[in-house]
Structure 1
Amino acid sequence: MRFRIRRPANTPADSFPEDPSLAPAMDTVEPEAPQAPLSPREIELIRASASLVEPLAADMTVYFYAILFARYPAVRPLFPPGMDVQRGRLLRALLRIVDLVDDPENLVRFCGHLGRDHRKFGALEAHFPAVGECLLASLARYAGSAWTEEIAAAWTKAYQTVADVMIGAAEQDARVRPAVWPATLVHRVSRAPGIAELTLRPHLPYDYAAGQYAAIETPWHPLQWRSYSPAHAPREDGTLTFHVRAVPGGAVSNALVHRAVVGDVVRLGAPMGDMVLDAAVHGDLLCVAGGTGFAPIRALIEEVARRGGRHQVNLFIGARTGAELYGVDDMLRMAQRHHWLTVRGAVSDEYIAGIRGSLPEVLAEYGPWYQHDVFLSGPAAMVASAKERLVYDGTPPERIHHDPFDTPVLHAS
């Protein structure tokens, strides 16, 4: 199967301005899907074949990268030496796309994010046909005798749509901002055992919204990117402060926590994520933070303060032990200055003074929260269980905001 990627209409590949300060402010407008939505029959075929290969998906992604690198060795330098994380990302992206094939608006939105994010890897339009060819070959191999020409045609159409949207989003993004931002480490301090607070000064203006996250690449592990959220609203001096936990086996997190020193230069990817204050429609907010998920929540609360405190905010910070519960003192001091902020800390695995229990249990005790917009950040299991409890108690799902579960900030325990 050979793919011919079509350049989306009205998206010339303009180069980024020589002087980044002259670039217009980024207005992320999702490109329209470049061809008609998939038919119900095509959606049925894609989902049925995806279900068929899903039990073998881990092996399929290994095979995909093996034939991709064998057939197109020029793309190998775009990937890190160790491929375990990358294979997992591909699998999650595929499953997400399959989940969204009958939801064109969110499919285009998701693929637009992918296209902009892939700029930091050096992905080019010319790479997409090779990826599509090897992806279909992998699906066909693991679907076995169930694979038909009709299924291949449905996947070809779906991949063409995904590729066109990603290319259009990347080209639009390239007209207004760089793919990566070099940034110098200007300050560091320990916040808790295994957690470092790192302040970076980007060499170019870095525009983001409170609650978003940025991918970071260190000089010690090229091509390995991990995402972290600035722990504050945008500052006038342009610096960015991140809270990084050293995760066992995490090359990037351990390098940032244990190896990086003032003066080192890292690289940032474009800001990503939709967990921003403008997503809220109610005046009352419930903010829930576990572990280093405290960083984007703190940024959102700073943004509320910047806007004059037009929201009533209930903040819950949770951890397993008192030693892991950090950030509460900072927020209590903020609550003394702002009447609209209420702060509570909870510990689940240790008997100490204060609130005891998991965050979902504590939320149920202090609720209901059905008249609030909810912002959740922390370990994926906590976010999922808290969301389930809130929905059970009457909070509309569309009022619950959190980053995608494949964002690394949601993987740290």
Structure 2
Amino acid sequence: MRASVAAVGPQAADMTVYFYAILFARYPDVRGLFPDNLDVQRDRLLRGLLRIVDFVDDPENLIRFCSRLGRDHRKFGALDGHYPAVGECLLASLARYAGPAWSPESASAWLHGYGVVAQVMTHAAAEDARTAPALWEAEIVDHVQRGHGIAEITVRPDALYPYAAGQYASVETPWQPKAWRYYSPAHAPRADNTLTFHVRAVAQGQVSQGLVHIAKPGDVIRLGPAQGDMTLDPGSDRDLVCVAGGTGTAPIKALVEEAARSGIERYVDVFVGARTAEELYGLDDMLRMSQQHHWLSVRAAVSHERIAGLEGTLAQVLNEFGPWPWHEAFVSGPVAMVTQAGAALARQGIPQERIHFDPFDVPVLEAALLPRQLQEPLEE
């Protein structure tokens, strides 16, 4: 399986185009499950395959990953009967583009491997359907522009929306049906069941542009189930190191709120980074929280401007602090920053298993962007 995926690598974009072309030609009824623009979907398909291959000799994590995929796919309207169709077209695409790396042995391995994946996904979806809806309708009740293309959007789901501080939700808007993007609530769970998301309008963003510039109170969006592992262990009293870049401050703020109300005495160091002082989004909120809690320390760093305080990237600034051998670390923000900051924290003594990251724009299907061991920073 790994050899065939590696062989496909140079032609990965062509393979995913071919996959969707034959899937829709052979099974036209599934076309309605996908957005009109398939660019993001093609990328996610490849990254999902990479993640499955990454876990092919790690049954525990493979089952966990595929179970999450199965639960999340309920929101697309995926049915058990769709899985054989996808498997047939996936193997046909791999066979076409893997070249000499494709053999009867690799075909057999993929047939068996995909069968396991499909079985785990359908089982997880069926179990989830017993207790939870596939998605939630959520009315926008507040919309505040915060400058620099960022809006704070508060929604009220039509039913209880369960999540833990630090997790993220998938969001679909009426302006781009079936295009789902991922945002973290910027707070711990509230008694009134509302959620507030921090959304930055990304250039050419299919979903973010509508949320920031079109959405208004009264509009209704849809939410998929909460995902992510960047959550506090309720049984742990370790001190925390939290690192945030950009709108990655949202899940970090939620974690700090959760730490405050947990009743467990521990110290929390928060590092917030940006290119310039004006882009230090969310810093004021963090500083206000630090004034309320003696155990909370907040530091800001900028990398492209000389100001009083800490200068440099978050990874560079983290190298000046520590060591933190007994701490738990949480990192959120752009993928390159997460990887580089994670490596810096590891150098400061935090074991890899205690460095938690669910990058703000990387849901379960895109998790292959980050290595399982954060050792060396990625090139941008």
- The answer to whether the Cα contact below 8 Å between 1:179 and 1:270 also exists between their aligned partners in 2 is yes
- The answer to whether the Cα contact below 8 Å between 1:281 and 1:373 also exists between their aligned partners in 2 is no
2: distance between equivalents of 1:280 and 1:407? 26
1: distance between equivalents of 2:80 and 2:245? 39
1:143-292 to 2 correspondences below 5 Å: 143-278=98-233, 281=236, 283-292=238-247
Deviation at 1:203, TM superposition (A): 0.9
| Paired residue secondary structure (2:138) | strand
Match of 1:406 among 356, 362, 376: 362
Deviation at 1:150, TM superposition (A): 1.4
- The answer to whether the Cα contact below 8 Å between 2:237 and 2:264 also exists between their aligned partners in 1 is no
- The answer to whether the Cα contact below 8 Å between 1:282 and 1:373 also exists between their aligned partners in 2 is no
Q: Does 1:314 align with 2:314?
A: no
Deviation at 1:367, TM superposition (A): 1.8
Match of 1:346 in 2: 301
- The answer to whether the Cα contact below 8 Å between 1:192 and 1:326 also exists between their aligned partners in 2 is no
1: distance between equivalents of 2:118 and 2:209? 34
2: distance between equivalents of 1:282 and 1:96? 32
| Paired residue secondary structure (1:161) | helix
Match of 1:295 in 2: 250
- The answer to whether the Cα contact below 8 Å between 1:117 and 1:270 also exists between their aligned partners in 2 is yes
1:230-279 deviation per Cα after TM superposition (whole angstroms, max 9, x unaligned): 00000001100000000001010000000001110000000010110128
Matching residue's letter, 1:140: A
Matching residue's letter, 1:113: R
- The answer to whether the Cα contact below 8 Å between 2:272 and 2:301 also exists between their aligned partners in 1 is yes
Percentage identity across aligned positions?
64
Deviation at 1:406, TM superposition (A): 3.2
Deviation at 1:311, TM superposition (A): 2.3
Q: Does 1:109 align with 2:64?
A: yes
Match of 1:99 in 2: 54
Deviation at 1:337, TM superposition (A): 1.3
2: distance between equivalents of 1:250 and 1:332? 31
Q: CA RMSD in A?
A: 1.7
1:68-79 to 2 correspondences below 5 Å: 68-79=23-34
Match of 1:38 in 2: none
Q: Which has the higher mean CA deviation after the structures are superposed, 378-387 or 46-55? A: 46-55
Deviation at 1:175, TM superposition (A): 0.6
2: distance between equivalents of 1:225 and 1:105? 27
Structure 1: gaps (5+ residues): 1-45
Matching residue's letter, 1:228: Y
2: distance between equivalents of 1:249 and 1:66? 24
Matching residue's letter, 2:92: A
Match of 2:11 in 1: 56
Q: Does 1:135 align with 2:90?
A: yes
Match of 2:79 in 1: 124
Structure 2: gaps (5+ residues): 370-379
2: distance between equivalents of 1:58 and 1:395? 37
Deviation at 1:358, TM superposition (A): 0.6
1: distance between equivalents of 2:186 and 2:200? 13
1:163-182 deviation per Cα after TM superposition (whole angstroms, max 9, x unaligned): 00000111111110101100
Matching residue's letter, 1:294: T
2: distance between equivalents of 1:183 and 1:245? 19
1: distance between equivalents of 2:9 and 2:329? 33
| Paired residue secondary structure (1:344) | strand
Deviation at 1:281, TM superposition (A): 4.2
- The answer to whether the Cα contact below 8 Å between 1:218 and 1:252 also exists between their aligned partners in 2 is yes
- The answer to whether the Cα contact below 8 Å between 2:151 and 2:200 also exists between their aligned partners in 1 is yes
Matching residue's letter, 2:41: Q
| Paired residue secondary structure (1:221) | coil
Work out the number of aligned pairs and report it. 367
Q: Which has the higher mean CA deviation after the structures are superposed, 345-354 or 226-235? A: 345-354
- The answer to whether the Cα contact below 8 Å between 1:274 and 1:403 also exists between their aligned partners in 2 is yes
Matching residue's letter, 2:220: V
Cα 1:159–1:318 change in 2 (3 A) is: same
Q: Does 1:335 align with 2:297?
A: no
2: distance between equivalents of 1:156 and 1:403? 31
Matching residue's letter, 2:109: A
Matching residue's letter, 1:378: G
Match of 2:341 in 1: 386
TM-score, length of structure 2 as denominator length: 0.93
- The answer to whether the Cα contact below 8 Å between 2:3 and 2:101 also exists between their aligned partners in 1 is no
2: distance between equivalents of 1:299 and 1:399? 18
TM-score, length of structure 1 as denominator length: 0.86
- The answer to whether the Cα contact below 8 Å between 1:286 and 1:373 also exists between their aligned partners in 2 is yes
| Paired residue secondary structure (1:287) | strand
2: distance between equivalents of 1:350 and 1:181? 43
- The answer to whether the Cα contact below 8 Å between 2:172 and 2:179 also exists between their aligned partners in 1 is yes
1: distance between equivalents of 2:336 and 2:252? 17
- The answer to whether the Cα contact below 8 Å between 1:335 and 1:343 also exists between their aligned partners in 2 is yes
Match of 2:375 in 1: none
2: distance between equivalents of 1:344 and 1:374? 15
Cα 1:244–1:152 change in 2 (3 A) is: same
